[in-house]
Amino acid sequence: MARSSDTGDAREELRSRRRFIREAAAGTTLAVLGGLYVLSDDVAAQGEEKRPDGRPRLPPGQRVLQALKPMGGQSGSPLRKDFRLSLHGEVEQPLELDFNKLQALGAKQVSLDVHCVTGWSVLGASFTGVPIQALAQLVRPKPSARHVIFEAAHGYTANVPLREALAASSYVAYQLGNEPLPQAHGAPVRAVVPDLYFWKSPKWLTGIRFVSRDEPGYWERRGYNNHADPWREERYA
């Protein structure tokens, strides 16, 4: 059972994030970390585009930034030599990859839209990495696998339905733009699941565990929505 002080801290953090979302929705210019992220006409127009599935490219309640905003978290080692990725759980062939083995699987550079629960989106963020589909093919999930639990530094987890974890747009990324992933964005490796709010894309990734039963992750246990679809504004439980 959580201590009362822990519960109070979690509630206060949740209230703080809700206040940020209301403030972010109030205008098209956001003051962030002492600087201004301003919507240009071109970027705003992108938000009016449609996705192939017919949904608007920019989900409701979101405002466009031109660069990813660091969102904190307890950092793991940023060194590629320290990186290990465990692929395990309900799979036929568990596997552990170091950075060189991950990179040897073949890099793809992709343009992805990402959406933070606090109200900002970046359209067309450039990531380089390996599709999670390709990793799944190596370990062969069992028919019993229904969900993926992303594991990250210091015990952080995020739960994602298998179908969304294995979508063509879901990646294990180690490069942002044309540079190695910065430490503030999860170096050396993070998950990117762009069709869910960005807390479902853990930084400082250490494992991908395939499970038969859903296991709410760090933020889900603290009042955030278990699924996190931005187009349904699934922010909170």
pLDDT (tens digit, 9 = 90+) per residue, 14-58?
555 555 444 444 433 333 322 223 334 454 555 579 999 999 999
Say what the pLDDT of residue 40 is.
42
Identify the DSSP state of 33: T
CA distance 57 to 154: 34
Say what the pLDDT of residue 88 is.
98
Say what the pLDDT of residue 14 is.
56
Q: Give residue 207's domain range.
A: 4-232
How many independent structural domains does the chain possess?
A: 1
Say what the pLDDT of residue 35 is.
28
CA distance 65 to 30: 9
95 lies in a domain? Answer: yes
The pLDDT of 144-171, averaged and rounded, is 98
pLDDT (tens digit, 9 = 90+) per residue, 154-166?
999 999 999 999 9
Say what the pLDDT of residue 48 is.
76
Contact by Cβ (8 Å): 39, 60: no
163 lies in a domain? Answer: yes
CA distance 30 to 12: 22
104 lies in a domain? Answer: yes
The model's confidence at residue 12, banded by pLDDT at 50, 70 and 90, is low
CA distance 79 to 13: 30
Q: Is the pTM of this model over 0.95?
A: no
CA distance 162 to 146: 5
Integer angstrom CA distances of residue 26 from 19, 43, 96: 11, 18, 46
SS3 210: strand
pLDDT (tens digit, 9 = 90+) per residue, 198-234?
999 999 999 999 999 999 999 999 999 999 999 999 9
Q: Report the candidate in 185, 146, 140 with the shortest Cα–Cα distance to residue 164.
A: 146
Say what the pLDDT of residue 214 is.
98
CATH number for the domain harbouring residue 131: 3.90.420.10
51 lies in a domain? Answer: yes
Tokens of 49: 């585009």
Q: Is a pLDDT exceeding 60 seen at residue 174?
A: yes
Say what the pLDDT of residue 30 is.
32
Q: Is a pLDDT exceeding 90 seen at residue 194?
A: yes
141 lies in a domain? Answer: yes
Q: Report the candidate in 143, 139, 116 with the shortest Cα–Cα distance to residue 207.
A: 139
Q: Is a pLDDT exceeding 80 seen at residue 68?
A: yes
Q: Is a pLDDT exceeding 80 seen at residue 102?
A: yes
pLDDT (tens digit, 9 = 90+) per residue, 115-140?
999 999 999 999 999 999 999 999 99
237 lies in a domain? Answer: no
